A and B are shown apart, each in its own frame.
Chain A
Amino acid sequence: MIRHHIDPDLLVDYAAGSLPEAVSLMVATHLACCPACRKEVHGHETVGGALIEAGEEAPLGTNALAAVLDRLDVAEPAAAAPALDEQSRKVMPGPLARYVGRNLGDLRWKRIGPRMEKAAIASASPQFRAALLRIAAGARIPVHTHGGREYTLVLQGGIRDDGLEYRRGDVMSLDESHEHQPNATDDETCICLVVMDGPVRLTGRLTRLLNPFLRH
């Protein structure tokens, strides 16, 4: 049961195809877990279809149809779906699994704190970066603020922040004004997808010196 949904505006931008790739990845991953938001997006896509249907036409070149008919028999290059191990499939919903294309264990995890690891995910968005975080059960995540917007989507375990609890599929959306101190819940290792469009600034006295959070 999803309790923390994606911002409705992002669903419109996703359906319209206006989001940077890393943010679309986060939206699609949430959609795989959330029937309500899927339904929203489908509604927006129907609006897109109606706009196409009723929209203008731009005539194609005279030979366009012939050219396309000639190309129909060329087989589509097969997209090899990666065969992932059971744990990876369980943690990563379909859109994320296809995007990452590797087992969790095969990613390059870097230690970024005493009880926290991060694996960067290559993304075509220059501005938005995506990463997976693995946080030990019950661990405190260092105090930080954001240089930009950050979305955290829980895949396994949970996060508690500001009296709210986030579980699988839930999205925590934070902007630069938000200073927070999230905690992984006690039940199991927390894995989440983080998409951010600015560097994290640590605000604790010691941690500011270390500044390890999400640094490449």
Chain B
Amino acid sequence: MSLNVAARLWSGSEQIPGLRGRMADATAGNDDPPDYGALIGAVAARSDRQAFARLFHHFAPRIKAYCLRRGSAPAAAEEIAQEAMIQVWRRAAQFDPSKASASTWIFTIARNKRIDAFRRESHPEVLPEDIGQEDNADDGFDALAGAQAARRIATEVAALPADQAEVVRKAFFEDKTHQTIAEELGLPLGTVKSRIRLALGRLRKTMSEFRE
């Protein structure tokens, strides 16, 4: 079911050559995806190449699709996907399943690699060790229950009204700020802001159900 969701999420976007929707695969798999967080753990614990290969098969084509969506040329998208997966290998020990799902963690790696390659810029990040300096008793990360939550959120994204889904997709997948989206859609900035806010509000509500 979450696979149909993806197709609906993308509908309305222009076709990009080389992208494969996931609808066709929907019947192939059962509804119990591998625990990708555990695979990352295996890479961290014992440099498990088989676990890495499974992660690669799942995530590399998705990262490449993400980069194509956001305007990278095919060769560059391929390179970014490979670089991102190498980063997954190198940083596996830093993955903390109590703080993020595998897909969230890999999304941030892919995002940063893409910015690095596409814009020659960095994406300054907060590291766990930065936080100790400030007097924060409560760090307040939501612990999200892995792929389950991710799939549920994907369902929610697809269930958003079309106008909200469109702006969320543009914000996350087309390298556009609120301002650019507003110009592109010929909408007042305030309208774009409120649509994104409404959409994310809904999604956040879903996420809060997965809090542990």
Contacts and interface: CB of A to CB of B under 8 A. Distances in A.
Interface of A: 8-9, 12-13, 16-21, 24-25, 27-29, 31-33, 35-36, 38-39, 42-61, 64-65, 67-69, 71-72, 76, 89-90, 93-96, 98-99, 124-125, 169
A98 to B, nearest CB: 7
Contact of A125 (B74, B121, B127): B121
Contacts of A27: 124
Interface in B84-112: 85-86, 89-90, 99-108, 110-112
Contacts of B133: 32, 89-90, 93-94
A49 B53 contact: no
A35 B138 contact: yes
5 contacts: A18-B176, A43-B204, A54-B6, A56-B22, A71-B82
A24 B2 CA distance: 32
Contact of A99 (B99, B124, B173): B124
A190 to B, nearest CB: 18
Given A18-B176, A52-B63, A46 B124 contact: no
B184 to A, nearest CB: 13
B200 interface: yes
Contacts of B171: 12-13, 16, 18
B146 to A, nearest CB: 10
Contacts of B173: 51
A139 to B, nearest CB: 26
B64 A60 contact: yes
A43 B52 CA distance: 26
Nearest to A44: B200
Contacts of A58: 18-20, 61, 64-65, 68, 74, 77
Contacts of A17: 111-112, 114-115, 123, 175
Given A42-B142, A47-B172, A51-B154, A35 B136 contact: yes
